[in-house]
Amino acid sequence: MIEILVVDDDRQHTRVAEECLTQNYNATVTVVEDGDDALRILSREDYHPHLVLLELGNHGAPGQYLLRKIRRRKPKLPVVVWSASRNTEDVLQSYAEGANMYAEKPADLEQLRTTVHNIAQLWIKPFTSVKAAGAR
The domains located in the chain, with CATH, are 3-130 (3.40.50.2300)
pLDDT digits (tens, 9 = 90+) for 8-19: 999 999 999 999
The DSSP letter of residue 102 is E
Helix ranges (DSSP H) in the chain: 11-25, 35-42, 63-73, 88-96, 109-123, 125-134
Tell me, yes or no, if the pTM score tops 0.85: yes
Dist CA 17 CA 72 (whole Å): 26
Dist CA 84 CA 93 (whole Å): 15
pLDDT digits (tens, 9 = 90+) for 87-104: 899 899 999 999 999 999
